[in-house]
């Protein structure tokens, strides 16, 4: 089996686990970041793109390293195409993570 076939199989397995509710919150965020990075999330059914957008707005994920086009032809900017204080930028994610409460704060 070639590397792309393994990656594709792993992706499908991750989607099945997501749909089955088997992923932890952190695993879900990591999966969505991978899908945002490669642009695949913007080609899937709408609920995936909406969740990706929500994770970006919350500062849990950033935009991909390159721009993409969604299913409808809308442009999705890269993380480098937005200003640092904007959701989707690396700085916004870093600021969101550093300001979020941790279990040590409870």
* 8 Å CB contact between 88 and 63: yes
pLDDT band (50, 70, 90) for residue 99: confident
For residue 57, count other CB atoms closer than 10 A to its CB. Answer: 13
Give domain status of residue 44, yes or no.
yes
Q: pLDDT value at position 105?
A: 47
How many domains are contained in the chain?
Answer: 1
- What range does the domain containing 57 cover? 3-99
Average pLDDT over residues 3-14: 73
* 8 Å CB contact between 101 and 86: no
Give domain status of residue 45, yes or no.
yes
Give domain status of residue 105, yes or no.
no
Average pLDDT over residues 24-53: 96
The pLDDT tens digits of the residues spanning 74-92 come to 999 999 999 999 999 999 9
Tokens representing residue 65 in the block: 């390293």
List own/partner pairs for 31-36 with CB under 8 A and 24 or more apart. Answer: 32/61, 33/61, 33/62, 36/61, 36/62, 36/63, 36/64
The pLDDT mean for the chain works out to 89
By DSSP bridging, strand 75-76 and strand 68-69 are: antiparallel
pLDDT band (50, 70, 90) for residue 14: very high
Give domain status of residue 67, yes or no.
yes
């Amino acid at each position: 089996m070639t590397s792309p076939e393994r990656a594709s199989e792993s992706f499908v397995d991750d989607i099945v686990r997501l749909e089955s509710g088997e992923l932890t919150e952190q695993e879900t965020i990591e999966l969505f970041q991978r899908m945002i990075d490669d642009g695949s999330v913007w080609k899937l059914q709408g609920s995936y793109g909406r969740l990706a957008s929500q994770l970006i707005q919350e500062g849990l994920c950033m935009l991909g390293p390159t721009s993409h086009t969604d299913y409808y032809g809308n442009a999705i900017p890269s993380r480098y195409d937005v200003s640092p204080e904007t959701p989707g930028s690396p700085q916004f994610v870093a600021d969101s993570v550093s300001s979020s409460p941790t279990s040590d704060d409870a």
